[in-house]
Amino acid sequence: MTSVDQLQQQAVDAMTPAERIARSAQLWGWTYGVMERQVRAQHGAVSPEVIKCLVALRMYGHDPEMRRLIEEQLTRVSH
């Protein structure tokens, strides 16, 4: 483990459970935002529902059942 990894682990270890959850939510939001911008750049002007589905595919599409559910939803939303 590098010294940066050790410092990061110490910081996480010092957090309360509520702080850890809040930090996880912040990181999820950041990740979603990055992926949303990539999807918008690739697909242009599509509906917010389509954007949500395409981002979800990037985030969860590696799981076959999630992919099936997201693709099913994508067929229902307006493009």
For the stretch 26-58, pLDDT in tens is: 999 999 999 999 999 999 989 999 999 999 999
Domain count, the chain: 1
Q: Kindly state the average pLDDT of the residues 20-28.
A: 97
Whole-prediction pTM: 0.76
Q: Which domain holds residue 23?
A: 3-76
List the end-to-end C-alpha distance of the chain, in Å, as a whole number.
46
Q: Is 22 helix (H, G, I), strand (E, B) or coil?
A: helix
